[in-house]
A and B are shown apart, each in its own frame.
Chain A
Amino acid sequence: MNTLLILLGNLLSSISRFFNLGSGSTWPGHIALSLNPNFIQQILNKNNLRIILIAGTNGKTTTGKLIQAILEESGKKVFQNQAGANLLNGIASSLIFNSNLLGMIKKDFAIFEIDENTLPAILKEVISPDYIVILNLFRDQLDRYGEVNTISKKWGDSIQHLLPKTTLILNADDPQVAFLGKSRSNTLYFGINLQKNKNEKFQHASDSIYCPNCNAKLIYKITCFSHLGDWTCKECGYMHPQKTFISSPYYPLSGAYNEYNTNAATLLTQTLNLKKGKIIVSLKNFKPAFGRQEILKINGKKVQIFLSKNPTGFNESLKTITSLNAKNLLLLLNDRIPDGRDVSWIWDVDFEDFSSQFRNIVVSGDRAHDMGLRLKYAEFKKFKIEENLTKALTTTLRDMTNDETLYILATYSAMLDVRKILTGRKIL
């Protein structure tokens, strides 16, 4: 049965790519699971893979890619589900693409990034992982994912049933994430150097500043962004885990959020007794995943794309490009299914802090006018609204010099759209 499903899946994927219908990264798995609901379990049981799951609102793809890079540099064979294909069907597809017809996978590690709502189902029915990395939990696409507390409660319930062999790797600075390891051994914590990344004020988009244990307001010694920081509960005494891994030998990508991603990856790979030198080399040679600070060139001009899909992600992208002295900005807001249909969240982004940073600003995407309105009320003095994406791109590029960089902050589907134009060289 499974042989047939693998054969069929690979065939479908080839056809899909041949006719340019997309990479076919989810439907082979979808078909396999609908014909055999135990497909994932059966294939994984057959193979002696070490399994790493990565969950969290922001940073899954980058962290997965970092771990893969370090493992491969150390001579391990690794595969991952494709970025964004992080539901059960995407995982099943990745098994189909990487196994032979007998369902054998000649790899050492499987890395799966997992959608927030899929993690409980996966842990309950399908996978007993060696590692689970939980990066953070922020408000994100509330119309699709639901509320932060609902998600963390579901995660907590499913983590209780994990086998002791699973190592949990948690963000110590996120109170609700750290809480998942409260009564569990075999848990490791990562954070970042908070002194170096401290922020004077709380951002509005902070979701978990009340104690996950007793609901009292947390006291923060230092905050970094959103609700991340060094926190303590004066009421019940619950506090930030003490032993926290905070420094990698090298950070390939800008921004405090990427320090978290890098430290999570380094901490995990350190437990595997890999050579330190290999970790450094792989971090130094790291190339970002598509759309995640990816740099592209167009007509001799440098363009860097920052996927920014929720208030915290957007705030951190704005902060990061400001530290890079950005002057040219293209903001892309879509409201398709993968972006979330509700764009209310742009009012939780602290645009007010950046109103005089940029010289050349163009806004585009399906909801360009909503974004324009947001900028107006943040008192950005000068910006253009151009609904047509290609025109928006040409306009922004026209108004900058060759030695400058165009920074594009885009929601998920807008990021894919703009990348298609840029890599397809469709503009002149």
Chain B
Amino acid sequence: MKNYTLTIGWMYPELMSTYGDRGNIIVLKKRCKWRGIDVNIRKLNVGFNEKQLTACDMLFMGGAQDKQQEIIAGDLMKKRKELKKMIDDGIPGLFICGAYQFLGNYYKEANGTIINSLEIFDLFTENPGIGFSRQIGASAALVLNNKIIVGFENHGGRTYLGKKIKPFGKVIKGFGNNGKDQTEGAIYKNSFGTYFHGPILPKNPEFADYLIRLSLEKKYKKSPIYLSPLNDTLELQAHRLALNALKI
């Protein structure tokens, strides 16, 4: 697949990457490289230029701690317009945990304070406060095409989807968006929000390839584009063992 190139925008790698979510970037990069797709990872740190963002063919942003999120929030809100346009236009994106929450309408803190968010995904998140623990543990969800995604979730906020957005998956094990309605994550156009760390892509290589394929099809305005196969024996074995551990 020599003639293809992809630029993946990695939003706030210095700050929004506490839970091993960098693994997703490593996996996307190597799965492109092994197929001869020329891939360029563009790190977008606080203060980046909007043009650097809009030239990306795929976006990724990971989760972090509250303090890190506070530091980037101002910068991210400044880029709302460009980011919204890209996501509305169907540029593929993967947004984990805190990044996923940012895309919603607002975040309600335990004390009732409302923090405005990007209002790109029709959802909101609230922190139920003291007396409610974080939702932590290995998890699995059933997604498109009857595939099972495995990972590990660790979040304090509970996310509730609005009418204009679909869940990414249905919870099989774990808490998902809020521990109540069995939904996990969200899909809007070609963008995915999810609570799955683990990180999500290494043990779910089909999802990684799906993101790569969507990005190529969008960029080259050609569909379908078939990715050359890779040897995923190890990935699928690790996936199976994760399911076994969850007794699925």
Residues of A within 8 A of B46 (CB): 217
Chain A residue nearest to B19 in the complex (CB): A344
Q: Please determine whether A373 and B67 come into contact, CB atoms closer than 8 angstroms.
A: no
Per the bound structure, the CA–CA distance linking A178 and B234 in Å amounts to: 44
Q: Of the 9-residue stretches A144-152, A246-254, A419-427, which lies at the interface with chain B? A: A144-152
Q: Please determine whether A373 and B235 come into contact, CB atoms closer than 8 angstroms.
A: yes
Q: What sequence of 0s and 1s flags, for each residue 50-87 of chain B, a beta carbon within 8 Å of any chain A beta carbon?
A: 00000000000000011110110000000000000000
Q: Of the 9-residue stretches B141-149, B163-171, B183-191, B198-206, which lies at the interface with chain A? A: B198-206
On whether A347 and B71 interact (CB within 8 A), knowing A147-B65, A209-B14, the answer reads: no
Check A207 for interface membership: any CB of B closer than 8 A. Answer: yes
CB of B65, distance to nearest CB on chain A (Å)? 4
| Chain A interfacial positions (CB closer than 8 Å to B) | 139, 142-143, 147-150, 204, 206-207, 209-210, 215, 217, 341-348, 369-370, 372-374, 376-379, 385
Q: Of the 9-residue stretches B21-29, B101-109, B113-121, which lies at the interface with chain A? A: B21-29
Per the bound structure, the CA–CA distance linking A209 and B21 in Å amounts to: 18
Check B241 for interface membership: any CB of A closer than 8 A. Answer: yes
Check B110 for interface membership: any CB of A closer than 8 A. Answer: no
Q: Please determine whether A147 and B18 come into contact, CB atoms closer than 8 angstroms.
A: yes
Per the bound structure, the CA–CA distance linking A116 and B127 in Å amounts to: 24
Residue from A142, A209, A341, A373 in contact with B203 in the complex, judged by beta carbons closer than 8 Å: A373
A-B contact pairs, 10 of them (CB 8 A): A150-B65, A204-B17, A210-B15, A215-B71, A347-B202, A372-B238, A377-B30, A377-B202, A378-B26, A379-B30
Q: Which of B228-248 contact A (CB under 8 A)?
A: 234-235, 237-238, 241
Q: Please determine whether A344 and B70 come into contact, CB atoms closer than 8 angstroms.
A: no
Residues of B within 8 A of A149 (CB): 65-68
Residues of B within 8 A of A345 (CB): 19-20
Q: Which 9 A-B residue pairs are closest in the complex by CB-CB distance?
A: A347-B23, A344-B20, A147-B65, A347-B20, A369-B238, A149-B67, A342-B152, A344-B197, A143-B136
Check B36 for interface membership: any CB of A closer than 8 A. Answer: no
Residues of B within 8 A of A347 (CB): 20-23, 26, 199, 202
Tell me what chain B mostly uses at the interface: helix, strand, loop, or mixed: mixed
Residues of A within 8 A of B235 (CB): 373
Residues of A within 8 A of B238 (CB): 369-370, 372-373
Chain B residue nearest to A370 in the complex (CB): B238
Residues of A within 8 A of B27 (CB): 377
Per the bound structure, the CA–CA distance linking A342 and B21 in Å amounts to: 12
CB of A180, distance to nearest CB on chain B (Å)? 16
Residues of B within 8 A of A344 (CB): 19-21, 23, 152, 197-199
Chain A residue nearest to B205 in the complex (CB): A373
CB of A323, distance to nearest CB on chain B (Å)? 25
Q: How many residues of B contact A (CB 8 A)?
A: 35
Residues of A within 8 A of B23 (CB): 344, 347, 374, 377
CB of B197, distance to nearest CB on chain A (Å)? 5
Per the bound structure, the CA–CA distance linking A374 and B22 in Å amounts to: 12
Residues of B within 8 A of A143 (CB): 136-137, 152, 154
Residues of A within 8 A of B136 (CB): 143, 341-342
Chain A residue nearest to B45 in the complex (CB): A217
Per the bound structure, the CA–CA distance linking A345 and B198 in Å amounts to: 8
CB of A93, distance to nearest CB on chain B (Å)? 28
CB of A26, distance to nearest CB on chain B (Å)? 23
Q: Please determine whether B71 and A346 come into contact, CB atoms closer than 8 angstroms.
A: no
Residues of A within 8 A of B41 (CB): none
Q: Please determine whether B234 and A207 come into contact, CB atoms closer than 8 angstroms.
A: no
On whether A377 and B26 interact (CB within 8 A), knowing A210-B71, A346-B20, the answer reads: yes
Q: A143-B136, A143-B137 are in contact. List 14 more A-B contacts (CB 8 A).
A: A142-B18, A147-B65, A204-B22, A210-B71, A341-B138, A341-B152, A344-B21, A344-B199, A347-B26, A348-B17, A369-B237, A373-B202, A374-B202, A385-B234
Residues of A within 8 A of B15 (CB): 210
Q: Please determine whether A142 and B22 come into contact, CB atoms closer than 8 angstroms.
A: no
Q: Please determine whether A147 and B234 come into contact, CB atoms closer than 8 angstroms.
A: no
Per the bound structure, the CA–CA distance linking A62 and B199 in Å amounts to: 32
CB of A125, distance to nearest CB on chain B (Å)? 20
CB of B28, distance to nearest CB on chain A (Å)? 10
Residues of B within 8 A of A370 (CB): 202-203, 238
Per the bound structure, the CA–CA distance linking A343 and B13 in Å amounts to: 19
Residues of A within 8 A of B71 (CB): 210, 215
Residues of B within 8 A of A379 (CB): 30
Per the bound structure, the CA–CA distance linking A379 and B203 in Å amounts to: 16
Residues of A within 8 A of B203 (CB): 370, 373
Chain A residue nearest to B65 in the complex (CB): A147
Q: Which of A207, A215, A344, A373 has the most CB of B within 10 A?
A: A344
Q: Please determine whether B237 and A147 come into contact, CB atoms closer than 8 angstroms.
A: no
Per the bound structure, the CA–CA distance linking A376 and B23 in Å amounts to: 12
Per the bound structure, the CA–CA distance linking A420 and B70 in Å amounts to: 46
Per the bound structure, the CA–CA distance linking A287 and B21 in Å amounts to: 38
Q: Which of B19, B26, B203, B237 has the most CB of A within 10 A?
A: B19
On whether A147 and B197 interact (CB within 8 A), knowing A347-B26, A369-B237, the answer reads: no
Q: Which of B1-48 contact A (CB under 8 A)?
A: 13-15, 17-23, 26-27, 30, 46
CB of A362, distance to nearest CB on chain B (Å)? 15
CB of A328, distance to nearest CB on chain B (Å)? 22
Per the bound structure, the CA–CA distance linking A379 and B241 in Å amounts to: 22
CB of A385, distance to nearest CB on chain B (Å)? 8
Chain A residue nearest to B231 in the complex (CB): A376
